[in-house]
Amino acid sequence: MADSLLECSNLNIKFGQNHVIKNLNMHLSTGEILSILGPSGCGKTTLLRIIAGLEIPLKGNIFLKNHEIFGPNINLQPSDRNIGMIFQDYALFPHLTVEKNILFGISNLEQKMQDDNVERVQQLTRLQGLMSRYPHELSGGQQQKVAIARTLATNPTVLLMDEPFSNLDASLRLSVRMEIEQILKSSNTATIFVTHDREEAFSISDRVAIMVDGAIQQVGPPDQIYFWPNSKESAVMSGSCDFIKGSVSGGSVNTSIGPLPMRMPESFSDGDQVEVAIRQTDLSMEPTPAGKNIVVRKDFRGDETIFWVKTPREEIIRCKHKIHTTLFSGLKVQLSPVQYTKFNVFNVPSS
């Protein structure tokens, strides 16, 4: 890949009989933020540890700036890879001040270089005024920034972040996330960050890689993944959705709630048995005594309410609406596609 900064090809790792990473391929471009989004246990942390040199794959290759750092005949030590990794718990030294924490990784440099680097990263992360504090005297968000400053001081070619916001409470997450995105973009630091939070992945990343069972299922810009998922797994990871069965007919799928227009009709033939992915905002609900669908549950969320609706085939579809007091559990409703909505459709796996 022409502008590829980091290139992983055909990576595999097993822990005992557990084949955790399977023929995995991915690349990262200069200055890019790539999120790896996947369910718990799919191998996200293991992938970061392989790239950092903390796990040795069974086979595969890793190139950094077109130099092989791992392959059949080479395995550069973690300290020689110039890859920075930030862990969930920040791993700051509790007995060192912020400044000494930052200096720790660059103590081999000349004094002038050390000073310049500390100055650069404290400005970048806006840590001025906190340099003489100890980690326990900082908020979670500030500790996170120290961890980033300490890593950026070493000028890593690539930064790896494992669930960087998971220890922050909800009120801090958004502001820290935005600040860190800005730090990464203004320092043009190519970053891979791992999460199971899709909102986080979508908002911070240039591209999102959906990882399922040790392999990258789909990679692309967030909106592409959301609107054009290439599998049921990608559809589920990229937004809440329900699936209902149907049969293809003339560019639509006949389902228990009526015909639904397909997103890529050319990929299917009439009569194909498929599953249709329905996002919570895809359908509108109209209460009517003739309605064949029944509201079975109502989740009040403040700004919106999620209604769980049972179709005549006993499928459950969740529909998101602004509060509508005339809708309640037990009500009969008609469901119809919101104007211009096209539905993603997947083949039913043959049993």
Task: Write out the DSSP string of 9-47.
Answer: EEEEEEETTEEEEEEEEEEEETT-EEEEE--TTSSHHHH
Residue 92 phi, psi dihedral angles, 5° rounding:
-80, 155
When the beta carbons of 196 and 332 are compared against ligand ATP, the nearer one is: 196
The encoded tokens of residue 140 equal: 């979670």
Judged by CB under 6 A, does residue 54 bind ligand ATP?
Answer: no
Q: In the complex, what is the shortest distance from the CB of residue 9 to ligand ATP, in angstroms, rounded to a whole number?
A: 19
Judged by CB under 6 A, does residue 148 bind ligand ATP?
Answer: no
Judged by CB under 6 A, does residue 217 bind ligand ATP?
Answer: no
**Secondary structure of the chain: what % helix, strand, coil (to 5)?**
25, 35, 40
Task: Write out the DSSP string of 190-208.
Answer: EEEEEES-HHHHHHH-SEE
Judged by CB under 6 A, does residue 43 bind ligand ATP?
Answer: yes
Q: In the complex, what is the shortest distance from the CB of residue 33 to ligand ATP, in angstroms, rounded to a whole number?
A: 18
Judged by CB under 6 A, does residue 58 bind ligand ATP?
Answer: no
Judged by CB under 6 A, does residue 279 bind ligand ATP?
Answer: no
Distance (Å, rounded) from C-alpha 65 to C-alpha 30? 9
Distance (Å, rounded) from C-alpha 115 to C-alpha 123? 12
Find residue 253's DSSP bridge partners: 248, 260
Q: In the complex, what is the shortest distance from the CB of residue 2 to ligand ATP, in angstroms, rounded to a whole number?
A: 30
Judged by CB under 6 A, does residue 35 bind ligand ATP?
Answer: no
Judged by CB under 6 A, does residue 101 bind ligand ATP?
Answer: no
Q: Considering only residues 241 through 260, tell me which ones interact with ligand ATP, judged by CB under 6 A.
A: none
Question: What 3-state class would DSSP assign to 76?
Answer: coil
Judged by CB under 6 A, does residue 40 bind ligand ATP?
Answer: yes
Judged by CB under 6 A, does residue 344 bind ligand ATP?
Answer: no
Q: In the complex, what is the shortest distance from the CB of residue 200 to ligand ATP, in angstroms, rounded to a whole number?
A: 13
Number of chain positions touching ligand ATP (CB under 6 A):
12
Contact between 235 and 225 (Cβ < 8 Å): no
When the beta carbons of 236 and 253 are compared against ligand ATP, the nearer one is: 236
Task: Choose, by CB under 6 A, the member of 26, 42, 201, 276 that binds ligand ATP.
Answer: 42
Q: Residue 57 carries which side chain, given as an amino acid letter?
A: P
Judged by CB under 6 A, does residue 45 bind ligand ATP?
Answer: yes
Task: Choose, by CB under 6 A, the member of 3, 10, 41, 297 that binds ligand ATP.
Answer: 41
Distance (Å, rounded) from C-alpha 92 to C-alpha 136? 10
Judged by CB under 6 A, does residue 207 bind ligand ATP?
Answer: no
34's torsion region: left (phi>0), alpha (psi -120 to 50) or beta?
A: beta
Choices 37-45, 72-80, 97-105, 277-285 (CB under 6 A): range interacting with ligand ATP: 37-45
Q: Which residues, other chains included, contact 222 with Cβ-Cβ below 8 Å and sequence gap of 6+? A: 201, 202, 205, 207, 208, 238
For residue 137, what is the DSSP state? G
Question: What 3-state class would DSSP assign to 333?
Answer: strand
Task: Choose, by CB under 6 A, the member of 5, 28, 37, 38 that binds ligand ATP.
Answer: 38
Judged by CB under 6 A, does residue 53 bind ligand ATP?
Answer: no
For residue 118, what is the DSSP state? H
When the beta carbons of 48 and 149 are compared against ligand ATP, the nearer one is: 48
Site residues, ligand ATP (CB under 6 A): 15, 18, 20, 38, 40-46, 196
